[in-house]
Structure 1
């Protein structure tokens, strides 16, 4: 069984596109081969700055011959109908067979499609994939029609079997496929002939090209750690930047540079961000004090001076960048944080929601109110909310927006603000995502909740709600932030009053339903069923999320038990009969049933059990003891089962029938004090 090797060598592919491109190449080529009748055992794709490569092993030698039988017109059909059928199947009348059918004799055609060679199919598939490749952006060059991310220089495409390697007969816009590639652009630009994937990879290694991006990442990480360790330093981990750097070089050469002394007083986040965004440098810190003191440059070639010239050039560029950062830092420090905040009064937050300054005042009022609920000092919470967004008008955040909050903390500390106020400036944006750390300091929690609640109520008030995949104002993220702040800090806080205190015009109940939907997403990873959450939410007023989750978890645990499953079956039976009879009679059987109308022991026992469960439930729910509440429900299982076994609900006596239907309603009412069981799936 032959192996296929494909390489597309071009000018530099942007690092951000490489991973997706290699995955697309693998998917499109393998799908194309399979759709044309070939099979394979394994496929692996690779990307470097200059090439996409795909290795497929265990490819079948030919596609199978296929036979298809197609029914045609009747023998006595009009001549034009028969001729049309012959054209559609590509046969002559002599090739057809005649068979008896219900309505007479009918023509049948057997269409035989002979198998094709792997080489023919591969050529057809590769050309289709290359011409239609889904680059986010592509270009044309020269006089050809082909579009590629950057000019395409060569195509290597070979099939290898026991007899050796055979280039695929393929030509795309004057680029003829062959068995030749090239190594590193500067260190080994000569042509390299290959016979199979192993020789391809081995010869590229010798020609200073590491084909696998994971190998390049591992080499960069290892060499960087060794260089830093030798200086008593450590590399700041940044997986995203490491992956991007690996997409910029084919032969990574790691160099260590020192930051000039005059820049070491800049905040480490400023140094790290500037070097990352502008230079793609990994930061290196002193583990003793956490200061960023050096950087890692990854060159794309070895040099006779061991990278000295490369380091010197990068140092000059970095010095210019850091000089700008130092200028921003010093200018910002000369501006009081309060003045920075006041500038936001002239900055529009949203054309229908006023300015940032107006929003800050709302957040401050809300933070003061929330502070009492979360154990924070109201004055500090209000102060923190008034200053937390001040750095948005700073020069540093204008240059590096990702430093918002971080710089606010530094400016607040330099201004002599309370540490809790400074920390809130940095932390109030969090959590930004499911993996982001949730603030726990009371002042930070108060401001973070106020910020997110204001966002939600404001956009709810102007009816800018998320729809489908559209969520331009990140309201789902804000809702998840509220949920995490409440639950991960164990807060007992009522949200409906806070929603009412938010931006005027928002519907608090509708917003709570949205939050419940997000809560379902949050709890899904913990194995909580969405319908269990809905059953508890349907009780109404469930805006204490900590209490709601306790109820949900207890209910799910109960439903997972045999008692819970059996009781749910009894509930469904009772509600089913009740609903059917209410619909038929046109009345609701919601009056209190009379025990003295019971006609058997099972009916009497059910009255007693419901009374006992009702009293016990009231106490358990008052004490927020949901485990006890579920135990009360469990006590109803046997009496309900016995009632249905020994009692006919639709008795002949109208008074007895009515009383028994009211008893079924009591079952529903008692159980629905814990959750609305009819919402559960299957109910």
Structure 2
């Protein structure tokens, strides 16, 4: 026979953000404990409301299964002290031990301990105590007189009651002075009195009758449907927000969505500000009108079924929101009075990182990189766009010192865009300021327009280059500066916009700018470059003088890389790794990316991916698989023979075998075709040229003895294998390809 078990842990209000995890933790901890104590059960379901965590364990067995444990002890002729110690550890007498032969002529003592089954109530009581004391709250507290000692119980908020019922019988348990009972409380306002619970079977419905909906998913559904209907009734569309849905469900036990209004005059404030004010400060949903614009309406979620239909509640919430929106409008209007360019000097007082200078320093580097990227890659010879990229970069961080972003950091970039537009900046500049942080994730939208792309790539590459140069790359699971996400964003933008440039070269340029700033004390990168090395165009190489400057910076602060070449190599490797992650979802094999990167110096990602995709198509074909097998056979023979090219005597008379001559002719034809195709970036044609080698290579290995006793023949044939290897490796390093 089995019964259901009910546990409720009632406390003062649990923060909404903690409830879902706490509900899952309660079920996981209890399940693990019952399994450890060998008490069979069928399933566990858990619930959370603002004032309680609860779980129901279905189909609990009457008792644990009886078990027998066997322990090996000392030999029968062991010293008395050893035997007595073993007896104490088992709780048995000498007569209860069993002697057995160990196969070597020795008698060894064994203890056979029969453990009877334990009744479910005792096991459940033990599990309750364990789970309460071991519960992993992210933040917890002690309370009352017991809190004078650190050994007292910690809970998220003071624990007030425990219900523990197996079937209709109470499971006695006491934790920190709180004893289990069968009584709980209903809704704080609708039913503050006690409720007697008979069993798990009537728990949910008895609480529902007392205005408490135990299931968080049900509360979320009520809020979602109710909020939509309230908006539709007013001719509006609710702006859905899953995070807000969970939060409101965590704040209410009897949710009642209500529609309210605010003054239309507030709609002059940017809609994102209104939405964030309503969401963050008040936990309100907002609505759109029929034209898709933000409406002067909101949906709040009350925790009470008011007699007046919620009129007073709505009225109170409208007043509170009006005050919040008045503050937001004040920030907005005040910020507009100061031009963004006049705010940029304040960035000199904001430290970007102690080893990387200020935000103003970073802005200068990003401006140089964005101008270079626009003028050399995205829109060559378009001076107007290059100037806009530089202007957008210069203004990009100015909104960090505005009142609005100080109140809502989530709006950085967006508010700068609004302010720039209002102050006469071009649409390209405003878009670039708005989109500088995009994409923030794999599913986030990409920046709009060439200027925005230039600024976003420059900003992200500068961060990657700067932290790498300062010896702070991502390590293991740690990535405190979100450099992996930045690299994935750069890759997405490069691919989407078909941008052709060397990632490591631009990163090296950013790192060079950083060192020039640190070494010269000048923020203006061009001025520092003029003073220290003379003028040079962007995206150029780095010489010994700059490495010497880097060494000087290292001597003062320490921790930086030793050279710019090391920096560029580290960035190349980093992007290779990120590219493998990014392309995995597209079905591109990581070993093929390795094969192309192994050629060295290749980090034009557009060209690289074109080569990789052509390679993947080729190696999955029959010709490709056979050529790969022939290549690996040739490479293995060359490795085994430790072959290196040498001189061949002119007086040797050598008549090549037919298969040997055919392979040489095939190589003579295929090599120049493949090289020309690679040069023209026609990788499909390069693969097709290599495919022509398949049959001659197969015939060569079938008909010719490569490692011939004749030294001259052996050298000539090994030379042919080397030509095969080199011809194939001109397209990709086939040794990196699996299979």
Q: Which bin holds the TM-score, normalised by the shorter protein?
A: over 0.9
Q: Given the alignment, which residue of 625, 644, 657 partners 1:588?
A: 644
Say yes or no: does 1:92 pair with 2:65.
Answer: no
Secondary structure of the corresponding residue to residue 268 of structure 2 = coil
Q: Distance in 1 between matches of 2:170 and 2:614?
A: 66
Q: Distance in 2 between matches of 1:85 and 1:597?
A: 86
Q: Which digits, 9 at most, give the CA deviation of each residue in 1:203-262, with x for residues without a partner?
A: 222221122222111111111111111111122222112211111111111111111233
Match of 1:15 in 2: 16
* Structure 2 CA distance for partners of 1:599 and 1:5, relative to 1, 3 Å: farther
Match of 1:482 in 2: 490
Match of 2:591 in 1: 531
Say yes or no: does 1:374 pair with 2:378.
Answer: yes
Say yes or no: does 1:105 pair with 2:107.
Answer: yes
Q: Given the alignment, which residue of 164, 175, 179 partners 1:157?
A: 164
Q: Which digits, 9 at most, give the CA deviation of each residue in 1:588-642, with x for residues without a partner?
A: 3488999995753333333233333322312332232333333333333333333
Q: Distance in 2 between matches of 1:178 and 1:560?
A: 68
* Structure 2 CA distance for partners of 1:124 and 1:383, relative to 1, 3 Å: same
Match of 1:274 in 2: 277
Moved over 6 A (4+): 590-596
Match of 1:127 in 2: 129
Residues 157-236 of structure 1 mapped to structure 2, 5 A cutoff: 157-160=164-167, 165-236=168-239
Q: Which runs of 5+ in 1 are unaligned?
A: none
Q: Which digits, 9 at most, give the CA deviation of each residue in 1:658-678, with x for residues without a partner?
A: 222232222221221222122
Aligned pair count reads 674
What TM-score results when the alignment is normalised by the length of structure 2?
Answer: 0.87
Q: Given the alignment, which residue of 625, 628, 631 partners 1:568?
A: 628
Q: Which digits, 9 at most, give the CA deviation of each residue in 1:44-72, with x for residues without a partner?
A: 22211111111222333332222233332
Q: Distance in 1 between matches of 2:702 and 2:72?
A: 61
Q: Which runs of 5+ in 2 are unaligned?
A: 147-151, 516-563
Secondary structure of the corresponding residue to residue 610 of structure 1 = helix
Q: Which digits, 9 at most, give the CA deviation of each residue in 1:323-348, with x for residues without a partner?
A: 21111111111111221223323433
Retained in 2: the 8 A contact 1:590–1:665?
A: no
Say yes or no: does 1:395 pair with 2:395.
Answer: no
Alpha-carbon distance, 1:146 to partner: 1.7
Secondary structure of the corresponding residue to residue 187 of structure 1 = coil
Secondary structure of the corresponding residue to residue 438 of structure 2 = coil
Secondary structure of the corresponding residue to residue 181 of structure 2 = coil
Match of 1:43 in 2: 44
Secondary structure of the corresponding residue to residue 625 of structure 2 = helix
Match of 1:67 in 2: 68
Alpha-carbon distance, 1:291 to partner: 2.6
Alpha-carbon distance, 1:453 to partner: 1.5
Provide the aligned C-alpha RMSD in A: 2.3
Match of 1:512 in 2: 572
Say yes or no: does 1:253 pair with 2:256.
Answer: yes
Alpha-carbon distance, 1:198 to partner: 4.1
Alpha-carbon distance, 1:266 to partner: 0.9
Match of 2:684 in 1: 627
Residues 287-302 of structure 1 mapped to structure 2, 5 A cutoff: 287-288=290-291, 290-302=293-305
* Structure 2 CA distance for partners of 1:325 and 1:590, relative to 1, 3 Å: farther
Q: Mean Cα displacement is larger for which, 431-440 or 653-662? A: 653-662
* Structure 2 CA distance for partners of 1:109 and 1:600, relative to 1, 3 Å: farther
Say yes or no: does 1:458 pair with 2:466.
Answer: yes
* Structure 2 CA distance for partners of 1:140 and 1:629, relative to 1, 3 Å: same
Match of 2:240 in 1: 237
Q: Given the alignment, which residue of 345, 356, 359 partners 1:353?
A: 356
Match of 1:642 in 2: 699
* Structure 2 CA distance for partners of 1:316 and 1:632, relative to 1, 3 Å: same
